[in-house]
Structure 1
Amino acid sequence: MPDVLSALLSPVTHSVAAVLAATHDAAGAVGLSPGSAGAWLLAVLLLVVAVRTVLLPVTVHQVRSSHARAHAAPQLRELRRRYAGIRDLEQLTAMRTEQKAIHAEHGVSGWSLAPALLQLPLFYALYRVVSDLTAGHSVGALDAGLVASASAASLAGLHLTSHLGATLASNPLAGVVLVTAALGAALLSLLSQRWFVLPMTDVADLPEGMATVQRLMPWLGAVGVLAAAAFVPAGLIAYWLFNNAWTFAQQGLVWRFAPTPGSPAAARREARALEGAVS
């Protein structure tokens, strides 16, 4: 199955590899020594910037979809209340008709999750490219020469191919740097969820068990990053750090300027606007 998946997503993987090769060239163009650790770290950073910039329209669509669902939520709650306990087929059909009308009124799309699903092949390709590069495997435009360059690049004795356990044992200073990067990636993931995502999530309609899981998700995500960091190469940890920093900034902007209607974040924004109007 993994081989089939790799073959299906090969065009996406090769496209990402081409972008990473181009960002490495760009790092050299700004004065960094080609093949240096700084050049490769900047290349990974620019890769994150390029990919997340391409995905901005998807982000905007998701924000608009969450707003549409929030605007429709009160009517949908009332609809469920009116039809609670109904088992009659004719009435259930009428309920579905009303539900579709409410969705149409507020612009709720049945394909609202499609953009998120479309991101999965890209994220898989990113993982494969960075993983293959740091493992010493050539892929697409990242030929043997570039792979050897990435493998040889070193910062304080830390290579893109370094793994946490072996690095801590052989070079404690480099190990501390890698642990710090992993902690930074985990902390950014936690704070993004705790500060920005949860305050924009309305859990009123969720069962208590699901609401509890929703509140635990930030911690589970952070623990997942730390657990994975023990097994993946340093290049992937660097990618996670840069990517999570982008996510933190992006979610902060959404939380500040376009919170989901009806959420605690939206109430905070309205209170802040009211205070500004009074003063």
Structure 2
Amino acid sequence: MLNFIYYPVSFILWCWHKVFGFVLGENNAIAWILAIMFLTFTIRGIMFKPFVKQVRSMKKMQEFAPELKKVQKKYANDKQRQAQEMQKLQREHGVNPLGSCLPMILQIPAFIGLNWVLRAFSIPPKDGSPKVNNYFFDQQGVESYLNAKLFGVHIGDAIHHTATLGGFADGGWNWNVAPVAIPLMILASILTHLTARHSAARQSATATDANPQAAIMQKLTMYIFPLGVLVFGAFFPIGLLVYWLSNNSWTLMQQRLVYTRIDKEEAAKKAEAKEKRDALAPKPGAKPKPGQKPVQSSKPAAEIESAAGDDTTPAGNGKRSTKAGSPHRFAQQPQRPQNGSAQQRKKPASGGKNSGQKGSGQKRR
């Protein structure tokens, strides 16, 4: 049913066992342990880009978390409208809330595939004949796995075998496996918690409050998953515990490297933006450089002319005198008329002051 998962996992494991078996021996348990570890590293290497996208998505969610809080507060009584507005805001910022869960979801098929492939080594055929193959492994590969021992314990054994899951004839508790399995269970549980804690430390309280799904997933990965490894690890074969341990070791190391790289990129962007602002801003008391053009006003020319035309003060005789520096200072003054005779220019107006004085003088005579 899930052969599309089992065959790729089996092939990767087969390739790495051939590499380490050539150096250490095919029946060597260390060769099988290394093959399982490098199977884990191969799968995590394939999922490296989705992991980086996950980190960047979490970073974006932290940036607009205050806006999500405003939406939650605004539509506190309308959950349907609240969900719609939050989804709209997430689309505008290009953030997928499920993107942070993608690497973890992709690990589930690998875990299921490896679990079944390792258990299938020990499951005999229904007719009772010897097992001749296990997906990409032939009969020699199957016998090599079954004969490999780590500290005197077969790497395919678990503390408890469940007959319904694997069809084991020797189902039940195998306490001779506990000295090897329990330390691996404890280490895997601790690393699971540390990995989740390191990831949670990158998320602000505002981001987790604004995204309930992220808050729930954070609690699951920090407490429920480590507890599950510690409890249900008794049902895992030694090889699967090695996978879980190496997977969390890789995740913790990868998180530190990726987070450090992203922090450096953000610090470099901030420094570059600050340099640009400092270069554009004028320094206090600095003189303009030779040939540097002054900053031109953004006002239209019509506004400048109207402002210049209004820059006048009334004179004492009713005329308007312009200020120095105004464009009206250079305007052409109105000229006196040049036409007409000198008598016309000297002739007083009727009813003027001179005529009145002359008339009064004649009467006195």
Q: TM tier, shorter chain?
A: 0.7 to 0.9
Verify: 1:54 aligned to 2:56, yes or no: no
Q: Which has the higher contact order (CA 8 A, sep 6+)?
A: 1
What are the superposed Cα offsets for residues 187-215 of structure 1, whole Å, 9 maximum, x if unpaired? Answer: 11122223x0221234441699x969955
Gaps of 5+ in 1: 1-6, 260-265, 271-279
Name whichever structure is richer in helix by fraction: 1
The change in CA–CA distance for 1:142 and 1:240 in structure 2 (over 3 A counts) is: same
Verify: 1:139 aligned to 2:134, yes or no: yes
Partner of 1:112: 99
With structure 1 as the length reference, what TM-score do the two structures score?
Answer: 0.73
Partner of 1:179: 182
What are the superposed Cα offsets for residues 57-99 of structure 1, whole Å, 9 maximum, x if unpaired? Answer: 1111211221222222211222232333358x9xx49x94x64
Q: How many correspondences in the alignment?
A: 242
Letter in 2 for 1:199: A
Alignment RMSD (CA, Å): 3.4
Q: Percent identity?
A: 29
Gaps of 5+ in 2: 125-130, 161-172, 271-365
Letter in 2 for 1:23: W
SS in 2 for 1:200: coil
Deviates more, 1:38-47 or 1:130-139: 130-139
| Cα distance, 1:248 vs structure 2 | 2.0
The structure with the larger Rg is 2
Residue of 230, 233, 236 corresponding to 1:229: 233
Q: Is the 8 A contact 2:52 2:258 kept in 1?
A: no
Partners of 1:253 and 1:16 lie apart in 2 by 27
The change in CA–CA distance for 1:74 and 1:133 in structure 2 (over 3 A counts) is: farther
Verify: 1:197 aligned to 2:184, yes or no: no
Verify: 1:63 aligned to 2:55, yes or no: yes
What are the superposed Cα offsets for residues 147-181 of structure 1, whole Å, 9 maximum, x if unpaired? Answer: 21111011221111222365534xxxx64233212
Partner of 2:327: none
Partners of 2:11 and 2:50 lie apart in 1 by 22
| Cα distance, 1:114 vs structure 2 | 7.5
The change in CA–CA distance for 1:135 and 1:60 in structure 2 (over 3 A counts) is: farther
Partner of 2:293: none
Partner of 1:127: 115
Partners of 2:40 and 2:258 lie apart in 1 by 19
Partner of 2:244: 240
Partner of 2:147: 152
Partners of 2:40 and 2:261 lie apart in 1 by 23
Residue of 12, 15, 23 corresponding to 1:22: 15
Partners of 2:240 and 2:50 lie apart in 1 by 24
Partner of 2:5: 12
